[in-house]
Amino acid sequence: MEHLFAPWRMAYIAGADKQEGCIFCDFPAEQNDEKRLILVRKEQVFVMFNAFPYNPGHLMVAPYRHVAGYEDLTEEELLEMHVTAQKCIRLIKSLMKPQGFNLGVNIGKTAGAGFAGHVHLHLVPRWDGDTNFMPVTAGVRVLPESLEETYGKFKKAWEDHE
């Protein structure tokens, strides 16, 4: 019998890695983009990897301004968020060759927002067959590469295409 280990999952399940405050405010303010997996900074928004991804390449686009509601975004924030998401999709397609994407905004805790006070857009690349028995029966997601490795590839590719 083979064993798959996902040690980061227990920290997530137990809440040990639960960030106090708001990651979308605190992480950009730290100015430590590699540690915080911030891929790119634009004028109104920034892009960072989800530390507990659904799939490899799971990115989030968020405004710098702490705002809870999608309807409360300025036109400039909204436009830059979606233009940046479009660039991210192109980047993910070129690097990872997914067959599809899920894009979503979870507004409020009831809708699944981990940080309900700060609206953000999720970009999740999808591949045929990426929904399998592992998450259902074992509570484990199989990610074939570390976040740091994926971050490095994306960072270089983003800079090469800017």
DSSP reduced 3-state for 67: coil
Among the options 3, 58, 118, 120, which is catalytic? Answer: 120
58 belongs to the catalytic site: no
- Both tokens of 68, joined, read 């809870």
State how far the Cα of 107 lies from the Cα of 47, in Å rounded to an integer: 18
DSSP reduced 3-state for 151: helix
Within the chain, what is the greatest distance between any pair of CA atoms? 54
Cβ within 8 Å of residue 88, ≥6 positions away: 39, 47, 59, 61, 123
State how far the Cα of 8 lies from the Cα of 17, in Å rounded to an integer: 9
- The beta-strand segments (E) located in 8-152 are 38-41, 45-49, 59-63, 100-104, 121-126
Catalytic residues, by residue number, are 120
